[in-house]
Structure 1
Amino acid sequence: MPVYALNLFDIADKDEYLAYARRSVKEVTAHGGKVISLGKFKEAALGEITPRTVMILVEWESEQAFDSYCNDPALADLHPHRENGTQNYIWHLFDKLDDLRPLLK
């Protein structure tokens, strides 16, 4: 079952994040992920979360696909670029729903 990873963060070091970005799309795809949307913060319409500058939404084939990306030893040199290139990172996983009925039961 697909899951969505919502990534919200600020850029802390452009060079570090560029080193991550250069490889990440290829590696995400290789592990069963697809970038659905990229965004730059515009405004807070409602809510109490501290705004982050960047939003990335990734659809993963499954939670196992997401885990394989996060835990692949061949990517041990990649993830530190994301960690060092960003700050205030929020990374939430959401199950895919066709509608909200399961939540409203």
Structure 2
Amino acid sequence: MTVYLIADVKVTDDAWIPEYATKVHDIVAKHGGKYLSRSGNIETIEGEGLDTTLIALIQFPSREALDAFASDPEYAPFGKARQEGSVSRFHVIDDTDLAGAIPYLPAAG
């Protein structure tokens, strides 16, 4: 089942960004993932705005693939640098419809 990693990041020290931005997508791809977006163009259209610098949306073919990426020793130094230079919130969602009413999405089980 497809899953999506939503990374909501507030950068506090941008020293980690150049290397992370150029190398982490290759580690994501190694695990079958692909970036759907990695953007700082964030506009709140309803509710209170986030104190966020960027949001990345990454698609993985399965939760196991996402977990393999997150625990990959090659990713570890990049993750550590990001954690030290930002306030990050990572969320995982799958591709289901909780209400089961959208015909092209699997119903949540």
Deviations 1:8-49 (A, max 9, x none): 111222221222222101111011110001222443221246
Q: For structure 2, which runs of at least 5 residues remain unmatched after alignment?
A: 101-106
Provide the TM-score with structure 1 as the length reference: 0.81
Instruction: Verify: 1:63 aligned to 2:63, yes or no.
Output: yes
The structural deviation recorded for 1:70 is 0.9
Contact in 2 for aligned 1:2/1:63 (Cα 8 Å): yes
**3-state DSSP of counterpart to 1:57:** strand
Asked if residue 52 in structure 1 is aligned to residue 66 in structure 2, the reply is no
- Aligned amino acid, residue 15 of structure 1: A
Deviates more, 1:27-36 or 1:73-82: 73-82
Corresponding residue for residue 81 of structure 2: 81
How has the CA–CA distance of structure 1 residues 40 and 74 changed in structure 2, closer, same or farther, with 3 Å as cutoff?
closer
Q: How many residues in Structure 1 have an aligned counterpart in Structure 2?
A: 103
Could you say what the CA RMSD is over the residues aligned between the two structures, in angstroms?
Answer: 2.3
Percent sequence identity over aligned pairs = 27
Q: Give the TM-score taking structure 2 as reference length.
A: 0.78
- Supply the distance in 2 between the matched residues of 1:79 and 1:56 (Cα, whole angstroms): 14
Contact 1:41 1:52 in 2 (8 A): no
- Report the secondary structure of 1:93's partner residue: strand
Quick one: structure 1 residues 22 and 81, their matched pair in 2 at CA, closer, same or farther if it must change by over 3 Å? Answer: farther
Partner-residue secondary structure (3-state), 1:47: coil
Q: Which has the higher helix share?
A: 1
SS in 1 for 2:9: strand
| Corresponding residue number in structure 1 for 2:16 | 16
Bigger relative contact order, structure 1 or 2 (CA pairs below 8 A, ≥6 apart):
1
